[in-house]
């Protein structure tokens, strides 16, 4: 039951000139479901990405890094995504199978295998049925069209209950620039570089000499402000990947710096798209019934704010209290206390639930009434604000609650 | 539904000469339940403890530290425990109320308030009804007797479903020495110093000059090998306390070193009692249906073994897979991958489930069959062994699975 998440009308998902999308049914794990998504990019496009920090990264992630760092890294022509199998924990055999999918697609497209980036999501530690993916490629190629974003958003879903797609247009140098993106991922979500899978494309124009570095900086910045601030269960996936494609077709004067007026306008739009996609993942978090924003302020640096924010958002006790709409708010204090800020003074802490001042100087506020906490806890969107009162830094993390359905979904995922 | 945990027959719980126990109903939170436990210690006893590392530590923990460090720290005469209210997140008022309980008990016992150590467990951030505790003290004092350990184990329970008590006797210098202990705690369990509450007493004799330092070293060692190796939900409580009392009444020649033959014999027995008490907490973990031992070996140091072990034991995905008896073992690899061992080589990893070799060199072992994994996953006791193959260090952590009942218990705890 996603929290205040609706499916974007396909007519609102603007095509990005230079990007065509084909979706097919390859039967990777189950028959009769769209499980293969192909992005074909015009020659001259720039692609950059951020990937999981998990040391047990999947074979496709290893191959993406290799291809992007190699001689064809600035000439990527295709992104190939399958669901149903993560091709992670599969050793050298998994790497060979991911490579074979690139070779087969490249042959059909008339490009080099190193110009293809592979992505996989699904069950870990099972052999990738690459022959099924190969068999599905002709259908995906035949389906290529510029308006396939809605189908792609559906095609990359696993335990997601709704597809996630966002589109936005901004004016840059008198030209309309489009940013459209999709994401998936409802469990194993504590991205540390990106969500399980996110793809954003724009036709914004960058100067060729600096295009790669600027697009890379932009995707890193966007990830840090969006996918790196969400958590569902604290599990950092083996397959997290966020990709940003720039096709340079919008017609405006090339952007040469992200700090210029045009660069900032684009960055704001890309970050907004990324944040909306990231928040959509939380809203559709496995078993989620509440969308929770945790703001920690008054830290000495952002790192310690993050320690506190993630301690709160990873605590099963805090998350079950939200599920129960129970203002058992001492659990939040306890989480802040064990977050790892070694010289924290509990006597300085303030805690607010939306507009309700719950804790002051580390103890219950005399004006706090249980019914006020109860009123906020019953809402579907809640903001927790903690003030550490020891410095100027702050951070924000988005999460959901922990419900019976989370257990059911993850106990039943493979059956 | 505790996992292979049975109630110790009260006749098997040996009294510890020098320790008397009184249990009463004070109505701290609910009427008609034993919620007040008093340990009265003979003059000359030595008391040492380890406490939570949570910076938001409860008022009684602050007071215990203060009293143990003060001039009466080597002359403690009473431990007073209440359930139903943790007196944490209660600021200066909470500290004053904890202090008042010590003053009142001391007056009744004819000792100094600083010779009393207070302990509380229950809901956080609610005002301690100290007047109810005071009203219950005469009944607790009247009930004092040497054989109250079974009642005490029941009296300190909160969401525990069974009382936890262990007793053991060893011969030291031709004299029989008793070690008896109790523990509680079924949620908010990732002790970092101790469990929520554990009390162990022995009549072993230490030389007066070094008694305090030896008992302190012994309780620290016992905690590190027991309560600091268990986790249920990763939440480090505000109230964790493990206390060790030595009454010096067993009659053997005083122990002057924990490395002597007598010292080692005692240490082994105390550690065994502490491990059994700590494991009992996991077996009775909120909603637990499985008892899981996670061994990580082949690390460069114990710290990185712990990173991997706690990543596995805190992963909701791993824990729900155990609940489902689903050998979805890639989730374990993923947890090892994001544990924070930054230069981990996934190509070296071995994973075993009991005797089943699941993963070799980071990929699925060719001989591994799903039905073998399934067979082990259905057991009520399972050992996960991960070999990092990068050094000589190892560690062990005990945990349980994550079930529907965990969510129910914590969503309903206050209602």
Q: Residue B375: inside a domain, yes or no?
A: yes
* Residue B349 and residue B272 in one domain: no
Nearest C-alpha neighbor of A310 from the set A288, A286, A335, A287: A335
Check CB contact under 8 Å for A337 and B55. yes
The answer on B186 and B335 residing in a single domain is no
Evaluated on CA atoms A333, A334, A335, A339, the torsion sign reads positive
Given a cut of 70, whether residue B166 has pLDDT beyond it is: yes
- B191 with B82, same domain: the answer is yes
Please report the pLDDT score of residue A169 as a whole number: 93
SS3 assignment, position B239: coil
Residue A84 lies in a domain: yes
- Residues B320 and B208 both lie in one domain: no
Tokens of A173: 């140098």
| Nearest alpha carbon to residue A86 among A159, A140, A163 | A159
Q: Is residue A145 a part of any domain in this protein?
A: yes
Q: Give the pLDDT of residue A277.
A: 87
Dump pLDDT digits (tens) for A18-73: 999 999 999 999 999 999 999 999 999 999 988 887 888 889 999 999 999 999 99
Question: How many degrees, rounded to 5, is the angle at CA B178 between CA B45 and CA B248?
Answer: 25
The answer to whether B63 touches B118, Cβ cutoff 8 Å, is: yes
pLDDT score at A413: 54
Confidence class for position B360, pLDDT limits 50, 70, 90:
very high
Which residues partner with A20 through β-bridges?
A40
Does one domain contain both A142 and A100?
Answer: yes
Contact B305, B297 (CB under 8 A): yes
**Contact criterion met (CB < 8 Å) for B238 and A404:** no
- What is the arithmetic mean of pLDDT over B344-366? 93
Sheet (strand A363-364) strand order: A230-231, A393-400, A291-299, A381-387, A350-353, A356-360, A363-364
Cβ density class A75-104: b for 16+ within 10 Å, e for less: bbbbbbbbbbbbbbbbbeebbebbbbbbeb
Query: What is the distance in angstroms between the Cα of A24 and the nearest Cα belonging to chain B?
Result: 27
Name the band, by pLDDT with cuts 50, 70 and 90, for residue A405: confident
Would B30 be classed as within a structural domain? yes
| Cβ within 8 Å, pair B55-A336 | yes
Domain of residue B168, CATH code: 3.60.70.12
Among residues B256, B283, B310, the one where a domain terminates is B283
Give the chain B residue nearest A409 (alpha carbons). Answer: B320
Across the beta sheet with A175-184, what order do the strands follow?
A46-51, A241-246, A197-202, A175-184, A164-172
Mutate to test the interface with B, among A334, A401, A406 (most CBs of B within 10 A): A334
Inter-chain CB proximity B125 and A237 less than 8 Å: no
Inside any domain, residue B5: no
The 10s digit of each residue's pLDDT in A369-384 is 999 999 999 999 999 9
Nearest chain B alpha carbon to A122: B330
Contact residues, chain A, for B95 at CB < 8 Å: none
Q: How far apart are alpha carbons A73 and A129 in whole angstroms?
A: 26
Cross-chain Cβ contact B363/A89 below 8 Å: yes
What's the number of domains chain B is made of? 2
Q: Is residue B162 located within the same domain as residue B25?
A: yes
Q: Are A236 and A192 in contact (CB under 8 A)?
A: yes
Using an 8 Å CB-CB cutoff, list chain B residues near A335: 235
Interchain pair A235, B92: CB under 8 A: no
Q: Which residues share a beta bridge with A19?
A: A41
User: What are the E-state strand segments in A223-338?
Assistant: 230-231, 241-246, 291-299
- H-state helical runs in B235-329: 261-283, 302-314, 316-323
Q: What is the 3-state secondary structure (H, E, C) of A280-301?
A: HHHHCCCCCCCEEEEEEEEECC
Percent of chain A scoring above 90 in pLDDT: 67
- Is A361's CB within 8 Å of B91's CB? yes
Separation between Cα atoms, residue B112 and residue B103, nearest integer Å: 8
Structural domain including A248 reads 10-283
Same domain, B265 and B328: no
- B197 within 8 A of B165, measured Cβ to Cβ: no
- How crowded is residue B379: how many other Cβ atoms within 10 Å of its Cβ? 14
Residue A1 DSSP class? -
The edge-to-edge listing of strands for the beta sheet with B175-184 is B46-51, B241-246, B197-202, B175-184, B164-172
The pLDDT tens digits of the residues spanning B17-48 come to 999 999 999 999 999 999 999 999 999 999 99
| Banded pLDDT at B229 (limits 50, 70, 90) | confident
- A164, A284 Cβ separation under 8 angstroms: yes
Q: Tell me, letter by letter, the H, E, C secondary structure of chain A.
A: CCCCCCCCCHHHCCCCCCEEEEEECCCCCCCCCCCEEEEEECCCCEEEEEECCCCCCCHHHHHHHHHHHCCCCCCCCEEEEEECECCCCEHHHHHHHHHHHHHHHHHHHCCCHHHEEEEEECCCCCCCCHHHHHHHHHHHHHCCECCCHHHHHHHCCCCCCCCEEEEEEEEECCEEEEEEEEEECCCCECCCCCCCEEEEEECCCECHHHHHHHHHHHHHHHHHCCHHHEECCCCECCCCEEEEEECCCCCCCCECCCCCHHHHHHHHHHHHHHHHHHHHHHHCCCCCCCEEEEEEEEECCHHHHHHHHHHHHHCHHHHHHHHCCCCCCHHHHHHHHCCCCCCCCHHHCEEEECCEEEEECCEECCCCCHHHHHHHHCCCEEEEEEECCCCCEEEEEEEECCCHHHHHHHHHCCC
Please identify which of the residues A83, A154, A178, A195 carries the catalytic annotation: A195
Find which of A378, A407, A415 to mutate to test the B interface (most B CBs within 10 Å of its CB). A407
- Min Cα–Cα distance to chain A from B202, Å: 31
| Gap from A275 CA to chain B (nearest CA, Å) | 23
Q: At what angle do helices B330-337 and B302-314 cross, to 10 degrees?
A: 130
Q: Note whether B411 contacts A347, CB cutoff 8 Å.
A: no
Three-state secondary structure call for residue A353: strand
Counting Cβ atoms within 10 Å, is residue B18 exposed (0-12), middle (13-18) or buried (19+)?
A: buried
**Closest CA–CA distance from residue A169 to any residue of chain B (Å):** 36
Point out the residue among A328, A342, A410 whose CB comes nearest to the CB of B320: A410
For the segment A311-336, what is each residue's pLDDT rounded down to a tens digit?
A: 999 988 899 999 999 888 888 998 99
Q: How far is A328 from chain B (nearest CA, A)?
A: 8
What mean pLDDT is reported for chain A? 90
Q: Which of B264, B283, B302 is the last residue of a domain?
A: B283
> Does B4 fall in a domain?
no
In this predicted structure, the answer to whether residue B234 has a pLDDT above a threshold of 90 is no
Mean pLDDT lowest among A279-283, B64-68, B304-308, B373-377: A279-283
The Cα B284–Cα B156 span in angstroms is 14
Residues of A with Cβ-Cβ distance to B321 under 8 angstroms: 410-411
- The answer, yes or no, to whether residue B414 has pLDDT greater than 70, is no
Is B3 domain-assigned?
no
Contacts of B9 (CB under 8 A, 6+ apart): none
Q: Is the pLDDT assigned to residue B190 strictly greater than 70? A: no
CB contact under 8 A, B236 and A334: yes
Spatial neighbors of B326 by CB under 8 A, at least 6 apart, are A411, A413, A414, A415, B377
CA distance A49 to A194: 9
Place of tokens 């999981």: A52
CA A202 to chain centre: 17
Are both A276 and A393 inside the same structural domain? no
B229 Cα to chain A: minimum distance (Å): 16
Structure confidence by residue, pLDDT tens digits, A126-135: 899 999 999 9
Could you tell me which of B360, B205, B373, B352 has the C-alpha nearest to residue B293?
B352
Say if pTM beats, i.e. exceeds, 0.90.
no
Give the number of beta-carbon pairs within 8 Å between A and B: 239
Q: Which of A237, A121, A157, A288 is nearest to B331 (CA)?
A: A237
Contact A346 B408 (CB under 8 A): no
| B415, pLDDT greater than 70 | no
Q: Which residues of A touch B236 (CB under 8 A)?
A: 334, 337-338
Point out the residues of B that are catalytic: 195
Q: For residues B194 and B329, state if they share a domain.
A: no
Q: What is the pLDDT of residue A193?
A: 40
Note whether B328 contacts A89, CB cutoff 8 Å: no
Mean residue pLDDT of chain B comes to: 90
Check if the beta carbon of residue A205 is closer than 8 Å to that of residue A253: yes
Parallel, antiparallel or unpaired: strands A164-172 and A175-184: antiparallel
Q: Please tell me the predicted confidence (pLDDT) of residue B267.
A: 92
The residue count for chain B:
415
Residues A183 and A314 both lie in one domain: no
ipTM attached to this prediction = 0.76
Residue B193, pLDDT score: 40
Mean pLDDT value across residues A242-271: 92
Whether the pLDDT of residue B189 is over 70: the answer is no
Mean pLDDT calculated for residue range A228-257: 85
B2 lies in a domain? no
A320 is catalytic: no
Question: Cβ contact (<8 Å) for A324 and B88?
Answer: no
Q: Give contacts of B320 with chain A, Cβ < 8 Å.
A: 406-407, 410-411
The CATH number given to whatever domain includes residue B356 is 3.10.20.340
Which residues make Cβ contacts (< 8 Å) with residue A321, sequence separation at least 6? A327, A328, A329, A331, A377, B410, B411
In chain B, residues with a C-beta closer than 8 Å to the C-beta of A323 are 407, 411
**A196 pLDDT more than 80:** no
Which of A228, A251, A283 terminates a domain? The answer is: A283
Do residue B393 and residue B317 come from a single domain? yes
Q: What is the DSSP secondary structure assignment for residue A118, as one 8-state letter? A: E
Contacts of A370 (CB under 8 A, 6+ apart): A327
Q: Do A171 and A95 sit in the same domain of this protein?
A: yes
Instruction: Look at residue B334 in the predicted model and tell me its pLDDT.
Output: 87
Reply yes or no on whether the pLDDT at B195 is more than 60: no
- Find the helix packing angle between A211-224 and A261-283, rounded to 10°: 40
Any residues with CB less than 8 A from the CB of A73 and at least 6 apart, and which? A67, A212
Exposed (0-12), middle (13-18) or buried (19+): which is B257, by Cβ within 10 Å?
Answer: middle
Q: How far is B364 from chain A (nearest CA, A)?
A: 6
Closest CB from B334, B345, B403 relative to A54: B334
Chain A residues near residue B89 by CB distance under 8 angstroms:
330, 333-334, 359, 362-364
* CA–CA separation, B96 and B261 (whole Å): 45
């Amino acid at each position: 039951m996603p929290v205040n998440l609706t499916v974007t009308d396909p007519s609102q998902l603007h095509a990005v000139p230079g990007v065509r999308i084909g979706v097919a049914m390859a039967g990777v794990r189950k028959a009769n479901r769209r499980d293969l998504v192909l992005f074909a990019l015009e020659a001259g496009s720039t692609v950059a990405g951020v990937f999981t920090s998990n040391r047990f990264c999947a074979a496709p992630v290893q191959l993406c890094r290799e291809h992007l760092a190699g001689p064809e890294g600035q000439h990527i022509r295709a992104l190939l995504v399958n669901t149903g199998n993560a091709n992670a924990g599969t050793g050298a055999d998994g790497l060979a199978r991911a490579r074979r999918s690139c070779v087969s697609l490249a042959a059909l497209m008339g490009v080099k295998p190193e110009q293809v980036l592979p992505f996989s999501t699904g069950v870990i530690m099972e052999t990738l049925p690459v022959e099924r993916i190969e068999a599905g490629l002709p259908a995906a190629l035949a389906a290529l069209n510029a308006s396939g974003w809605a189908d792609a958003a559906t095609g990359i879903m696993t335990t997601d209950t709704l597809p996630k797609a966002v589109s936005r247009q901004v004016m840059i140098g008198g030209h309309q620039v489009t940013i459209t993106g999709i994401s998936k991922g409802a469990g194993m979500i504590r991205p540390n570089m990106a969500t399980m899978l996110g793809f954003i494309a724009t036709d914004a124009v960058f100067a060729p000499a600096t295009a790669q570095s600027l697009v890379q900086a932009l995707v890193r910045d966007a990830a840090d402000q969006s996918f790196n601030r969400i958590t569902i269960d604290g599990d950092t996936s083996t397959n997290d990947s966020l990709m940003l494609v720039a096709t340079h077709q919008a017609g405006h004067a090339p952007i040469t710096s992200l700090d210029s007026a045009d660069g900032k306008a684009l960055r704001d739009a890309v970050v907004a798209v990324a944040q909306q996609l990231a928040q959509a993942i939380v809203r559709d978090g496995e078993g989620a019934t509440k969308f929770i924003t945790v703001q920690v302020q008054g830290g000495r640096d952002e790192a310690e704010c993050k320690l506190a924010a993630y301690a709160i958002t990873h605590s099963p006790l805090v998350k079950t209290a939200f599920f129960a709409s129970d203002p058992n708010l001492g659990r939040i204090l306890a989480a802040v206390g064990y977050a790892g800020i070694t010289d924290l003074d509990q006597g300085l802490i303030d805690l607010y639930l939306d507009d309700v001042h719950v804790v002051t100087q580390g103890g219950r506020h005399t004006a706090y009434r249980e019914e006020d906490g109860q009123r906020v806890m019953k809402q579907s969107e809640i903001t927790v604000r903690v003030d550490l009162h020891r410095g100027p830094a702050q951070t924000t993390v988005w999460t959901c609650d922990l419900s019976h359905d989370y257990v059911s979904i993850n106990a039943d995922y493979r059956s």
